[in-house]
Each structure stands twice: as C-alpha cells, then as structure tokens.
Amino acid sequence: MLFELNNFIYSYGRNNRFQLGPLSLTLESDSITALVGSNGSGKTTLIRILLNELLQYGGDYTIDSVPVNDMSGSVPHTYGIGYAPEEPVLDERLSGYEIAYIVKEIHNIKKQEFDIFMARFRQLLQIGSWFEKSPCREYSQGMRRKVSLLAAFLGAYNYLIIDEPTNGLDPVAVFGVKKLLLSYKEQGKGVLVSSHILDFVEKIAQNVIILKNGTVAFAGKVQELLGSHPGMQLDEIYYNIFVNIPENSGFSL
C-alpha cells in the first residue's frame, strides 16, 4: 500500500490563515512512520487528509496510484485502514467489548482470529472487567484510548493511523502499545503514528516526518537523522530543527 502526496496544499481558517504544504510525501506500508511537530503544525490535518476527511485541497493525493478524489466510499474501509483519533470517539452507550465485536463483524474477522487477538490485546493493555460491563461513557481517558486503539487495530488489515496513541495510558499500556505496533509492522503492514513523545517514536519508528508550521522540516529515516547528528538524541535534534532551521528550508522527500 502506497500513499503519495505531490505538491499538496491545503488551507483553512479565516483568510486561509493556516496552510499545510506545499509538500510531497510518500508513505509505504512496510514500516512505522512517526509524524511529529509542534502544536498546530498540521499533524492532525495531514492525518485527516490521508483519511479523505478534508476534500478541498490542491495538488495530487493518490493511494496505490489511484487518485483519492475519484473514489467512492470511505477511504479507511475501502483500503482497510484502521484509525484511532487523538480524542477517542466511541459509541458512548455500548461497552468496549460490544464495539470490538461489531468491528469484528464489519470486517468479517474470523472468530478464532478475533479471540486470539483479543486475548493478546487484553493481556498487553491490561484490560479488566470494565470492558464488558460498563458503557464507554463511564470510561476514564485511558480506558477510552484502549478501546479506540482496539477498534483501530481490528479495522487495520492494511494500514494503521494513530494520533497520539499514548495519551492517558499508563506505562504498562504504553509498553503494550509498543509491542502491538512492532508485531503489526512485522506482518508487513504500515503504521503512521502522530506523537509528541520522542522517546516512544525513537524506539518504534523507522521513518519520521517532522512538520513545522505546515511544511515538512524533515522526512526520512530515523537512523539517518540520528546519524547526521552524532551523539544526539532525537529530542535534541528536534529542538535544533525547530530553533535553528528557518521555515521552508527546502527539506522534502
């Protein structure tokens, strides 16, 4: 699976106050790509564009060389893309298990496969009896995040897009998410993770896209970035990029 954005521009707000792009990006489905950037740099906007939720843009956006504008139906369900938004949106009256079961039915996942995945997910993310018993409206922030991630994983038979996956999660669950993401990637599937936690990104991602004021400040391999700044951690490099590099410095994929 291949997402391609060429000379892409999207703007919104009064007098087009915010502009994402122009940018050119390629996302492949065999690696974990981290999307980092300061608040308001356009991470969530980029994700919403990839999911075809925002339509009035300039330039080209294709998935597997098919222009997204020509498609009918929802992009996530047509291409098997699982999505967990920054603020989990859940069916408030249903329990977590009921949501998981319905997602399983929507994607025709076999019962055995579902049971195995659920057991692993429950173990890694420490999911308790609340999952079956209580409706989502009673869940804490962390519980909601877990259910949102679960629904995204179940729907992601090709690609996974998650926005701030560790928000509200305890350390055990963060470790569980890491393990799940890595094993998902080992199946040859791709992940786009938007996160502010650079330690998390450094440990799981092979590629990184750094957004700054709507433009790409860096896009490439994490190892390449670390290699070009010997002896520095990702957070230090990130700081340098944001403090020293001027806007539209010409970095592109």
Binding site for another protein (CB under 8 A): 51, 55, 73-74, 76-77, 82-85, 89-95, 98-99, 101-103, 105-106, 129, 132-135, 137-138, 151-152, 154-155
Identify whether the C-beta of residue 82 lies closer than 8 Å to the C-beta of residue 160: yes
Closest CA to 212 of 10, 34, 35: 35
Choice between 101 and 175, CB closer to another protein: 101
Identify whether the C-beta of residue 143 lies closer than 8 Å to the C-beta of residue 96: yes
Q: How far is the CB of 194 from another protein (least distance, A)?
A: 14
DSSP 8-class letter at 88? -
Choice between 20 and 162, CB closer to another protein: 162
Q: How far is the CB of 150 from another protein (least distance, A)?
A: 9
Edge-to-edge strands, sheet with 81-84: 81-84, 159-163, 190-194, 32-37, 207-212, 215-221
Q: How far is the CB of 19 from another protein (least distance, A)?
A: 22
Choice between 10 and 238, CB closer to another protein: 10
Choice between 23 and 49, CB closer to another protein: 49
Bond preceding residue 22 cis, omega within 30 of 0? yes
Q: How far is the CB of 88 from another protein (least distance, A)?
A: 9
